[in-house]
Amino acid sequence: MSHELQFYIDGAWVEPATPKFLDVIDPSNEDAFAKIAMGSKADVDKAVAAAKRAFSTFGFTSREERLALLRRIVAVYKKRSADLALAVSREMGAPRGFALESQVGIGLSHLEKMVQTLEKFEFEHLERGSLVVKEPIGVVGLITPWNWPLNQITCKVAPALAAGCAMILKPSEIAPLDAIIFAEILDEAGVPNGVFNLVNGDGPTVGQAIASHPDVDMVSFTGSTRAGILVAKAAADTVKRVHQELGGKSANILFPDVDFAVAVKKGVSGCFGNSGQSCNAPTRMFVPRDRQEEVAAFAKTAAEKFRVGAADAPGTVLGPVVSKVQFDKIQDLIQSGVAEGATLVTGGPGRPADLNRGYYVRPTVFANVTPEMRIAREEIFGPVLSIMPYDTVEQAIERANDTVYGLASYIQAKDIDKARQASRRMRSGNVYINYPVWDAGLPFGGYKQSGNGREYAEYGLDDFLEIKGIAGYAAA
């Protein structure tokens, strides 16, 4: 049975309190292919009440019970992987193979890593005759985005379950179908009634209701910095914990000693992956001024090999961006790069010549980008790379840090000692040296306006726990 027109509350699929629906658009062709129910404050109230009841028992379950639950979720998730991949591909335009291997695969990685984390996590220890205990924070609201939907759902839901919290998930209304399947997975895995609840809806209605609800003890939000500020303001009156993973404008510093042919190709791939719709994408490539022309040529060659097309078309490497709103924003920023005097190396405004329908962006590279340009300062969230020349590595580090964001930085250097020294000076939550393999156990999160708190593995689990000191415990 299809559950698109229902919410998952208290262990059951239920009708919305007020009938209101929204079309889900396939960005590959701009057609509506599904419809979802949109929630209201009444639906949130019902879900929070269910979570509050469930927490009174689930919050005191044993590690073994929660481990068994997570292992069942992993098994059912694997069984439903193809369904998840098709949903993600259609709702946000990810090419079919990428949707299965990366979008669905990263969710599985977080679930499996949380099982490993929970197996050895220390929830309590004795300290000078007293007991220090880490306990579940309570009822949590989870608000997730559309760009890596299963990544963000799993790296919030998994630690919340491992901690013993009860929760309400509001996924993006733009890409909601994978979350509905995820709720079906949790239901099949036997999550106790009320521990996990799903209410679809928009930010101003459902998101606001979750963030401001007096019985929600914590909100974990991933999305734009603008929306994150609104969530924090809504949460302030009830003094709840707010965990935010927000925007980024990540720098990629290529030291003079690198193999530019290799480093530039990898940098372009990192920037363009997921059609550029990643908050930690290396969108600002800092290169020695006397090598910029060479770098631009390498970047042009690399960018023009990215085949743009429909998510289900054979050979597609870059699918569409998610929506008309995103497409229009990206087009405006590309136009600004041209208008402000950056050198257009390849790509540019408009769709690729053979695509006249769908939210397709031409893979675009600019050179001679200066720090004051909009394309150097604003998060574009599309396949647009800015090459920025530097005169000294010191200047590159200074300019890389000159941003309101601080999510990630990238450093490419043959001299590993110099790379390590530079990594210490980057004002970002993550630094990646020489394109390492992605690690689900590394803490993820940002400095400055890129947010607060950390996700993944034990760092994510810690964020869903309160710390209690019980004095005199040993003596008693």
Catalytic residues, which ones? 245, 279
- Residue 326, helix vs strand vs coil: helix
- Residue 440, helix vs strand vs coil: coil
d(CA 146, CA 127): 44
Q: Is residue 192 a contact partner of residue 167, using CB atoms and an 8 Å limit?
A: no
Amino acid letter for position 461: L
What is the number of residues in the chain? 476
d(CA 319, CA 326): 13
DSSP 8-class letter at 100: I
DSSP E strand stretches across 51-184: 124-127, 130-136, 139-143, 166-170
DSSP string, 184-253: HHHHHHTPPTTTEEE----IIIIIHHHHH-TT--EEEEES-HHHHHHHHHHHHTTT-EEEEE----EEEE
Q: Which residues pair with 344 in a beta bridge?
A: 366
Question: Which of 61, 261, 41, 278 has its CA nearest to residue 161?
Answer: 61
Amino acid letter for position 239: V
- Residue 259, helix vs strand vs coil: coil
Q: Is residue 366 a contact partner of residue 343, using CB atoms and an 8 Å limit?
A: yes
* Cα dihedral across residues 207, 10, 151, 238: positive or negative: positive
Amino acid letter for position 117: T
Buried b (16+ CB within 10 A) or exposed e, 377-406: ebbbbbbbbbbbbbeebeebbebbbebebb
Which strands, in side-by-side order, build the sheet including 241-245? 12-14, 7-9, 196-198, 166-170, 139-143, 218-222, 241-245, 451-452
DSSP string, 146-195: SSSHHHHHHHHHHHHHHHT-EEEEE--SSS-HHHHHHHHHHHHHTPPTTT
Q: Which residues pair with 408 in a beta bridge?
A: 430
d(CA 223, CA 204): 14
Question: Which of 253, 198, 231, 187 has its CA nearest to residue 400?
Answer: 253
